[in-house]
């Protein structure tokens, strides 16, 4: 009976009157649990499907050292960028525009780069 009053308030008297009188509160509760369970199952399926598609798209055959990472980016304006791409220990300077990607220079290995703390001290002395 409480559920009938709830539907009268939320849905209006005409819609609430279309609900059969034979449903008890426990039957309606079970019905709502089935509905929410089905929605939860759909959400879980979508979540796991998105994880699977990401793994398939990225490809699991590459090791971490074989991945290409963009370690730094500098905007030059007009949708043009300088990027430092890193693959393993090798670093490359790339010029990127909407129509092309140009290899500008091969930089030193990432293990031989100077520490950024020493560069900051030099710029403070100027």
Residues in Cβ contact with 67 at an 8 Å cutoff, skipping those fewer than 6 apart: 87
pLDDT per residue as tens digits for the range 18-64: 555 566 778 888 889 999 999 999 999 999 999 888 877 765 555 55
pLDDT value, residue 106: 93
Contact 92, 103 (CB under 8 A): yes
76: pLDDT strictly greater than 90: yes
Measured at the alpha carbon of residue 57, what is the angle toward residues 48 and 91, in degrees to the nearest 5? 130
Query: Which range is least confidently modeled, 1-5, 16-20, 43-47, 112-116?
Result: 112-116
Helix or strand (DSSP H, E) at 94: strand 90-96
0.85 surpassed by pTM: no
pLDDT per residue as tens digits for the range 77-105: 999 999 999 888 889 999 999 999 999 99
């Amino acid at each position: 009976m409480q559920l009938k009053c709830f539907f009268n308030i939320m849905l209006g008297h005409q819609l609430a009157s279309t609900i059969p009188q034979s449903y008890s509160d426990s039957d309606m509760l079970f019905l709502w649990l089935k509905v929410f369970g089905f929605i939860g199952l759909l959400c879980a399926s979508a979540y796991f499907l998105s994880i699977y598609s990401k793994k398939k798209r990225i490809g699991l055959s590459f090791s971490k050292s074989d991945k290409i990472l963009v370690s730094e980016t500098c905007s030059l304006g007009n949708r043009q960028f300088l990027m430092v791409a890193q693959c393993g220990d090798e670093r490359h300077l790339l010029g990127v525009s909407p129509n092309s990607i140009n290899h500008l220079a091969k930089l030193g290995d990432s293990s031989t780069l100077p520490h950024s703390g020493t560069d900051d001290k030099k710029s403070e002395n100027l």
